[in-house]
Amino acid sequence: MIKVENVSKNYAGKTALSHVSFEIDRGTIFGLLGPNGAGKTSLIRILTQITGADEGAVYFDDEKLSDKHTSMMGYLPEERGLYKKMKIYEQAIYFAMLKGFSKKEAKKAVEHWFDVFDITSWSDKKVEELSKGMQQKVQFVLTILHEPKLLILDEPFTGFDPVNAEMIKKQILELKTKGTTIILSTHRMESVEELCDKIVFINNGKNILTGDIDTIKNTYKDNMVEAVSENGTLTLSPDFKLMESILLKNKKYKHIIEAPKDMKLSDVLKYISGNNPIESFKEVLPSINDIFIKLVNDNKE
């Protein structure tokens, strides 16, 4: 769906992006990750054609990105941009017509999405009369009401309580099911693990890591395992390192153990269970948050 090929961008002699390349499959959720100042916003501005790349190219459905693709996109910026003095229904109609809807089509789409998000009763309210969370909800509706082929979400969960955040997640997944390709830029790593199929990690303007979630987690695993037993201590050889033992609510203990790097998981299980009465055992993979922190620190070094 999207191909970013060797894209670079400079501002007043400062490099924002340096030869960044990756591809996004159609109908997937793609995580755009990186610390503040990494170059994510510069990349989004190029994808949305707010600005252009100094080098390289972006392709949309195998065509070089052009003005005609703008109407096929939905973009939710981190800094929201609603007209505060305008009523939300009128504003939604206006945004829909900007995307090429007739007034009749705009009304039908707006009324459908207002109903889905349970905001019909707010129709005559001005944006400035709404709470921050309510405003975020309206902005999300305006971003998706034309059911874009490409949806770019920059920190979409900011300002939402858990109930509304869950509603937004549900709609993101439903849009994916319908074939929408979604780029998710966020610092909420739990959302990345829950929603994304693949990610790209950008730091200092460079593509540090690209791939699907499971492959990346397996690449960065360090032979950590979890064993649950009734005993607060375990019998382990010096080759094993007990990282922590946690007393659970059921009065049992969860032990996190670092096994020898070259030892197969099956052999780890055989050794631990052979020397200790354990009730459960599983491999512990690093979280995307752990990998994020490691990559940032390694890149600094």
Same domain, 107 and 251: no
CA 188 to each of CA 44, 125, 281: distance values in angstroms, whole numbers, following the listed order: 18, 31, 28
When divided into structural domains, the chain yields a total of 2
Instruction: Give the tens place of pLDDT for each residue, 10-36.
Output: 998 899 999 999 999 999 999 999 998
Same domain, 150 and 258: no
Same domain, 189 and 227: no
* Burial grade of 219 (CB within 10 A; 0-12, 13-18, 19 or more): exposed
- Choosing from 188, 212, 236, the residue where a domain stops is 212
pLDDT for 125: 93
Q: Report the CATH number that the domain containing residue 47 is assigned in CATH.
A: 3.40.50.300
Same domain, 154 and 242: no
The rounded distance, in Å, linking the Cα atoms of 17 and 87 is 39
Domain presence at residue 252: yes
Domain presence at residue 298: no
CB 36 within 8 A of CB 90: no
> Is the torsion defined by CA of 257, 260, 264, 270 positive or negative?
negative
Same domain, 152 and 16: yes
Domain presence at residue 188: yes
Domain presence at residue 300: no
Domain presence at residue 43: yes
pLDDT for 301: 60
Domain presence at residue 105: yes
pLDDT for 59: 97
Domain presence at residue 295: no
pLDDT for 56: 96
271 lies in which domain range? 222-284
Residue with tokens 């032990």: 255
pLDDT for 207: 93
Same domain, 78 and 197: yes
Residue with tokens 């037993």: 229
Main-chain phi, psi angles of 53, to 5 degrees: -80, 145
Same domain, 164 and 230: no
Same domain, 243 and 118: no
Main-chain phi, psi angles of 191, to 5 degrees: -70, -35
Same domain, 242 and 202: no
Same domain, 123 and 239: no
pLDDT for 132: 86
pLDDT for 182: 97
DSSP string across 162-226? HHHHHHHHHHHHHHHHTT-EEEEE-S-HHHHHHH-SEEEEEETTEEEEEEEHHHHHHHT--SEEE
- Choosing from 180, 212, 244, the residue where a domain stops is 212
Instruction: Write out the E strands in the chain.
Output: 2-11, 14-24, 29-33, 55-60, 63-64, 73-76, 150-154, 181-185, 198-203, 206-212, 224-229, 241-247, 253-258, 278-284
Main-chain phi, psi angles of 56, to 5 degrees: 85, -175
Q: Which residues pair with 87 in a beta bridge?
A: 126
What is the chain's mean pLDDT, rounded?
92
pLDDT for 43: 95
pTM, rounded to two decimals: 0.88
Same domain, 61 and 197: yes
Same domain, 53 and 190: yes
The rounded distance, in Å, linking the Cα atoms of 27 and 197 is 10
The rounded distance, in Å, linking the Cα atoms of 243 and 211 is 29
- The list of the chain residues with pLDDT below 70 reads 301
Domain presence at residue 237: yes
